Chain A
């Protein structure tokens, strides 16, 4: 809320210097972000959505339990039930060494998270400017886009052997593959974002005396933001996908490795634990991006409020 408050006082000061009283009617017109969030939560709790969601979750869990542990359906014969998984997950002395009380578990989680952070940040830092630039300068796009479109469809798994040959050690290879997956999605969405901007905004900005750099910072960047953030959401999902694929093939830590290892060593509960952990981490990382998007795109938040 800081920048907005500053704006307020700045304006009030400007008016005071002119001998005009500050505008009192503006004081309470600014709903705070957390107030909007709280209001939205209160509103959400009055609708049926959260309860239906919980019901869906619980009934799936129930079905899972019935199939695996009560009726022992043939398809699920080798799958550990929810009770077995929970026993392992919350045990002080886990049979296979992976529970919320074991440090190895967190070491795997952190290994994966740290790779995601590096790869995703690198992809964002490179992909967003590249996409913006491709959308801004037609000539640049003409140079780069065909190459981009040729490389993009190559499945990320196909890059793994190349990455292992290129980089010393597994760590860099896994990060590289994760980065690539994320990078293409981010760049493409940013480019689409620039291209989605209504021509009228460019024209209006030109009318108001904009130079190219003004167009870039006042029209192209903010205009592409909604697409950029949609892109980052997808890119984050894709990054997890590539990460787990990479970790299954190379590496000795990380959730992907844990899943593969659990499978090879018949540690079925660990497999499920790692999968659910990935689910949580994926959801959490998406949520972080959504929060950032809301902060940066106040104009859309207020529209929805």
Chain B
């Protein structure tokens, strides 16, 4: 329970973090009063409504909320795929986006997509080394050596010359995480990355993600609507309201790292899940009713 005091809602508690995360100095995300409105065909849709959230550098932050509530919209704004209507998002001291400025997508904030976006026309190796190569950060030899190391770390050795279509879904997700890590990003943005995965494969991939996190201590912004996944992975679980997204509840997960599956059966875990479930269920109910209204 050392981590218990270290994870706070504000950056101040960060100083108390234990040794494993001490190297996380960059990658603090600060979302200040952000609203995102979009108008597809004249309908005024408020996807995110004055949402504020501080994610300290090196935190594993999980956002849960009902489907279509605006979680992905928020993630896309951080990644730079679209702008915000009002408010600001900062990364460390740098203004990422505001009403006037849309963030430019870049290798400091790498997204792992819901349905996966490994280039099917590139081998695993070429996918992984793509980033550093085109940015000119490494030459091919260096990149290949780094890739090889990373693949071993992710339990993927021996597949570097295969195409994504030749490997299993679980492997593809790991390759995608490896491709992201290869760029040494400040922030990892994961948009329901394990959604389409069966429960058994999921646990394996989650474990690899946790290992990578424990070693690197990148800031992670993880979106899911699987509560078990949220609690098992996250340092903090942010429950957001159904559309428009607002922060409803923040639950600190004080399970020590490195984490183990055995924790899933503990009493503490059960309590956390109950707490989360209560908050989420209310929103899910609202989202469901809103959906019924829209359909009618």
Q: Which of A's residues lie within 8 Å of B, judged by CB?
A: 4, 7-8, 10-11, 13-15, 17-18, 20, 23, 25-26, 29-30, 198, 200-201, 203-211, 214, 218-219, 222-223, 225, 297-300, 302-303
Contacts and interface: CB of A to CB of B under 8 A. Distances in A.
3 closest A-B pairs (Cβ-Cβ)?
A: A208-B131, A222-B121, A204-B117
A168 to B, nearest CB: 44
Interface stretch (B45-53, B155-163, B230-238, B259-267): B155-163
A207 B107 contact: yes
Contacts of B122: 218, 222, 299
Contacts of A17: 141, 145
Nearest to B113: A200
11 contacts: A10-B140, A11-B144, A11-B148, A203-B81, A207-B79, A207-B106, A209-B106, A209-B107, A218-B134, A297-B121, A302-B165
B111 A207 contact: yes
Contacts of A210: 134
Interface residues of B, number: 41
B148 A15 contact: yes
A18 B142 CA distance: 9
A10 B106 CA distance: 29
B169 interface: no
Given A10-B144, A25-B158, A203 B113 contact: yes
Interface of B: 79-81, 105-107, 109-111, 113, 115-122, 125, 130-131, 134-135, 140-142, 144-145, 148, 157-166, 179, 183
Contacts of A303: 163, 165-166
B163 A26 contact: no
Contacts, number: 112
Contacts of A4: 161
Chain A interface, >50% SS class: helix
B165 A214 contact: no
A68 B261 CA distance: 78
Contacts of B113: 200, 203-204
A209 B134 CA distance: 7
A14 B144 contact: yes
Given A10-B144, A15-B148, A299 B163 contact: yes
Task: Name the residue in A11, A206, A207, A300 with the highest tally of chain B Cβ atoms < 10 Å from its Cβ.
Answer: A207
A194 to B, nearest CB: 14
Contacts of A219: 119
A7 B179 contact: no
A15 B140 CA distance: 12
B162 A225 contact: no
A29 B158 contact: yes
Given A26-B160, A210-B134, A204 B165 contact: no
B120 A299 contact: yes
A204 B107 contact: no
A1 to B, nearest CB: 12
A211 B165 CA distance: 26
Contacts of B117: 198, 200-201, 203-204
A303 B121 CA distance: 11
B96 to A, nearest CB: 14
